[in-house]
Amino acid sequence: MAKIVSIHSFRGGTGKSNVTANLATWIAKSGYRVGIVDTDIQSPGIHVPFKLDETQVKYTLNDYLWGRCSIDAAVYDVSAVLSTGRSWFGNRGKLYLIPSSIKTGEISRILREGYDARSLNDGFRALIQKLQLDYLFIDTHPGINEETLLSVIISDVLVVILRPDKQDYQGTAVTIDVARKLEVPKMLLVVNKALPSLNFEALRQQIQTSYQAPVAGILPVCEEMFQLASSDIFCLRHPDHAWSKEIHAIAAQVQANQSSGSRLAYQSR
């Protein structure tokens, strides 16, 4: 049974795509079959740390949503790209990305015309079956919109990312409220871009008390991340960095308490 994990934040630029890419890579590296769908159709970005450029991409999620191709045609094996010269993923581990289009016309068309949300759902189901996934990660668009609601509804785990910033605090309360109403089985909070000089334990307690939800990890703001500028997967480039170690701890919590299967009972194998 596959586990569906949505990564959300109320505001943009919180680190959703980098956290998604790193959690998914780390889990795939431990021998699991992992897929990532970029549902941030308005501002896609997760293809960047996976070094997937326009010339390599024939079909995207947009083409699938418009009925121009099957979902399989928009799948890219990024474990093969990342593994060049190395064997990061062992025999079983696999990492697949379904990118969203970065073409202006295709982004504006989907904003103008929309799409049938049910086809996104069907696409997730087909991906889990065809790729025999253990985990499907959904990198979402910030704020509350139709895709967010859909991904929250079908998620086994919702990871909500926030920065230690008052604007994030308020918006995160809205997201958590929606997630509770939609009865997400497991919700984990992740703080990103925390100043290393902060007292992380006090911050954890404060956030857990405010939201009555567990904080799975606090990721420090760091210069190495700025330097990397999304050009690679951070935890592969800096495996011993505090940021990477916190990602490992968050991944363990995403994986823990394997529920009886996904909420839509998707059969992966």
Binding stretches for ligand ADP (CB under 6 A): 9, 12-18, 45, 192-193, 219, 221-222, 225-226, 229-230, 243
Task: Return the one option of ligand ADP, Mg ion, none that residue 14 interacts with (CB less than 5 to 8 A, by type).
Answer: ligand ADP
Nearer Cβ to Mg ion (15/217):
15
Nearer Cβ to ligand ADP (9/62):
9
Member of 17, 22, 25, 172 binding Mg ion (CB under 5 A):
17
We find the least distance from the C-beta atom of residue 148 to ligand ADP, in angstroms, to be: 13
Task: Return the one option of ligand ADP, Mg ion, none that residue 222 interacts with (CB less than 5 to 8 A, by type).
Answer: ligand ADP
The Cα–Cα gap between 97 and 135 comes to 12
Q: Which residue is nearest to Mg ion (CB)?
A: 17
Task: Return the one option of Mg ion, ligand ADP, none that residue 192 interacts with (CB less than 5 to 8 A, by type).
Answer: ligand ADP
Nearer Cβ to Mg ion (120/138):
138
Cβ atoms of 4 and 138 closer than 8 Å: yes
Which parts of 36-75 interact with Mg ion (CB under 5 A)?
A: 45
Task: Return the one option of Mg ion, ligand ADP, none that residue 215 interacts with (CB less than 5 to 8 A, by type).
Answer: none
Q: Are strands 135-139 and 215-220 parallel, antiparallel or unpaired?
A: unpaired
Task: Return the one option of Mg ion, ligand ADP, none that residue 230 interacts with (CB less than 5 to 8 A, by type).
Answer: ligand ADP
Nearer Cβ to Mg ion (35/93):
35
Q: With left for phi above 0 and alpha for psi between -120 and 50, is residue 6 left, alpha or beta? A: beta
Binding site for Mg ion (CB under 5 A): 16-17, 45
